[in-house]
């Protein structure tokens, strides 16, 4: 088990996907994403293997949750600055987590 103090160290915020494009250089099918987390954090980049349920067109404008305080990770030619959050469906494909009501960009999950 972890303590609440440990959990509170993980900074999860809501953002909106502003740009999405295919990432053909990735080993597994993926997209390059640009996510706006509001004035405090600004726009961050990520890559995500979410091509089964989403297209670039359906991603732009979508609110998502992401971990914003992990160190950046180089994934091919993309420096991933945040970790997008999702859960697997019955076949193990990622379904994104998103708020069901409108909330301010950068809002922290707690």
Domains and CATH numbers, the chain: 4-96 (2.40.50.140)
- Percent of the chain topping pLDDT 90: 91
Instruction: Please tell me the chain's helix, strand, coil percentages from 3-state DSSP, rounded to the nearest 5.
Output: 10, 40, 55
pLDDT category, 76, cuts 50, 70, 90?
confident
pLDDT category, 15, cuts 50, 70, 90?
very high
- Average pLDDT on 48-75 reads 96
First to last CA, the chain: 18
Which residue is listed with tokens 């960009």? 105
pLDDT category, 18, cuts 50, 70, 90?
very high
Q: Does the pLDDT at position 27 exceed 90?
A: no
Distance CA 109, CA 70 (A): 15
pLDDT of residue 77: 86
pLDDT of residue 23: 93
Whether the model clears a pTM of 0.75, i.e. scores above it, the answer is: yes
- The set of long-range contacts for 2-9, using a CB threshold of 8 Å and a minimum separation of 24, is 8/110, 9/69
Q: How far lies 93's CA from each of 66, 73, 89, in Å?
A: 17, 22, 5
């Amino acid at each position: 088990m972890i303590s609440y103090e440990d959990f509170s160290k993980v900074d999860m915020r809501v953002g909106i996907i502003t740009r999405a494009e295919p990432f053909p250089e990735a080993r597994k099918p993926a997209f390059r994403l640009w996510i706006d987390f509001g004035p405090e954090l600004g726009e961050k980049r990520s890559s995500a293997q979410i091509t089964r349920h989403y297209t670039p067109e359906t991603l732009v404008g979508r609110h998502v949750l992401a971990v914003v305080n992990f160190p950046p990770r180089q994934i091919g030619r993309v420096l991933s600055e945040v970790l997008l959050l999702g859960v697997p469906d019955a076949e193990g494909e990622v379904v994104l987590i998103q708020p069901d009501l409108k909330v301010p960009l950068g809002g922290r999950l707690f």
